[in-house]
């Protein structure tokens, strides 16, 4: 919780700028000193921040700032701390679900799309052009020439906005169930002045765009669908012959014993218990959960009819798995 507060308030970024007293950090951040001092004490005793009693200065070590600040060289782990606050807010409802077996709705989760957009910014958007598009040598030339692209479950649409900027000859569509996320994406598109990109509210369990797209992407959007297999079947049908599907999801195994050393496994199972499983169950779905497993994903892709399925895990990002799947000409 304190790391989440530090991220949202800007305190972690401010302290990374250099050592400070509690009063100095409060002034630097334009926050109330008494709260800042208590926050600092929590992070000092938690081993995150260092404290020098002689000078009364606090320091965020460079090796900690590298993974706890915006633009940190190792990625900002403080983004994920926000999920702890979100889970806490949902605890009474989740306890009811434990008793009833019922599920939840996307709108039950405060700031969900805001947090996921921050997550996506560093796990998807930041590596789109250096890594993701490189999993198929033909993707960039096709995008430069002009193709139809769909991002299914697009959230606030950050990935599509960057793609639309880079490839003006292509046409991009984003669908998501949540009206607030689509509204944000539409405002961002208008602000960017992009005319090759549109967003729409769509229930993806009823996707019926037959043979319309040359490329479809999903980023962390399949496992919490009502029926993931039917969803992948619909994406396959929405591709034109020769089309490509790029799918990012959590790279854990379907077998619990294989996940004992998987990065952040207990966190991911907790997120699954509080969000991905109940959201699927709330739609009348299967509730496969966040850690449904790359084996399950690969089997479903093949069952959907994809002729070639290639799995990639980037060395710098062991938590996620990327699939490239082809539809025959």
The CA-atom distances, in angstroms, between 271 and each of 81, 264, 276, 293 are 11, 11, 7, 15
How many whole angstroms separate alpha carbon 87 and alpha carbon 83?
6
**CA 34 from centre of chain:** 34
Element of type H or E holding 34: helix 33-45
**Is residue 160 left, alpha or beta, with left meaning phi > 0 and alpha meaning psi from -120 to 50?**
alpha
Q: Which residues does residue 59 pair with via DSSP β-bridges, in sequence order?
A: 50
How many whole angstroms separate alpha carbon 219 and alpha carbon 246?
8
Name which of 195, 103, 204, 107 is nearest 151 in CA terms: 204
How many whole angstroms separate alpha carbon 216 and alpha carbon 210?
12
The CA-atom distances, in angstroms, between 64 and each of 59, 73, 285 are 10, 10, 40
Per-residue pLDDT of the chain (329 residues; tens, 9 = 90+): 999 999 999 999 999 999 999 999 999 999 999 999 999 999 999 999 999 999 999 999 999 999 999 989 888 999 999 999 999 999 999 999 999 999 999 889 988 888 988 988 888 998 999 999 999 999 999 999 999 999 999 999 999 999 999 999 999 999 998 899 999 999 999 999 999 999 999 988 888 888 899 999 999 999 988 899 999 999 999 999 999 999 999 999 999 999 999 999 999 999 999 999 999 999 999 999 999 999 999 999 999 999 899 999 999 888 999 999 999 98
- Residue 154 neighbours by CB under 8 Å, 6+ apart: 160, 174, 175, 176, 181, 182, 185, 199
């Amino acid at each position: 919780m304190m790391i989440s507060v530090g991220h949202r308030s800007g305190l972690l970024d401010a302290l990374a700028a250099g050592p400070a007293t509690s009063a100095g950090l409060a002034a630097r951040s334009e926050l109330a000193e008494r709260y800042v001092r208590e926050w600092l004490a929590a992070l000092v005793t938690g081993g995150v921040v260092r404290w020098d009693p002689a000078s009364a200065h606090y320091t965020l070590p460079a090796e900690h700032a590298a993974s706890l600040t915006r633009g940190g060289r190792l990625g900002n782990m403080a983004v994920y701390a926000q999920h702890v606050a979100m889970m806490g807010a949902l605890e009474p409802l989740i306890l009811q679900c434990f008793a009833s077996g019922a599920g939840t709705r996307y709108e039950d989760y405060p700031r969900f799309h805001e947090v996921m957009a921050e997550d996506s910014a560093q796990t998807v958007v930041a590596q789109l052009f250096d890594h993701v598009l490189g999993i198929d040598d033909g993707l960039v030339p096709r995008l430069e020439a002009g193709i139809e692209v769909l991002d299914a479950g697009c959230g606030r649409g950050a990935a599509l906005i960057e793609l639309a900027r880079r490839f003006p000859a292509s046409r991009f569509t984003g669908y998501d169930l949540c009206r607030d996320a689509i509204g944000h994406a539409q405002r961002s598109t208008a602000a960017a002045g992009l005319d090759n990109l549109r967003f729409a509210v769509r229930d993806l369990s009823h996707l019926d765009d037959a043979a319309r797209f040359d490329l479809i992407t999903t980023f962390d959007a399949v496992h919490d669908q009502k029926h993931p297999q039917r969803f992948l079947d619909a994406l396959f049908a929405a591709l034109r012959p020769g089309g490509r599907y790029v799918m990012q999801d959590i790279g854990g195994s379907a077998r619990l014993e294989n996940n004992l050393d998987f990065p952040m496994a207990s966190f991911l199972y907790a997120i699954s218990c509080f969000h991905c499983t109940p959201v699927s169950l709330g739609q009348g779905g299967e509730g496969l959960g966040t850690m449904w497993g790359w084996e399950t994903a690969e089997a479903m892709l093949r069952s959907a009819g994809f002729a070639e399925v290639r799995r990639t895990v980037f060395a710098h990002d062991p938590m996620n798995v990327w699939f490239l799947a082809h539809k025959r000409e």
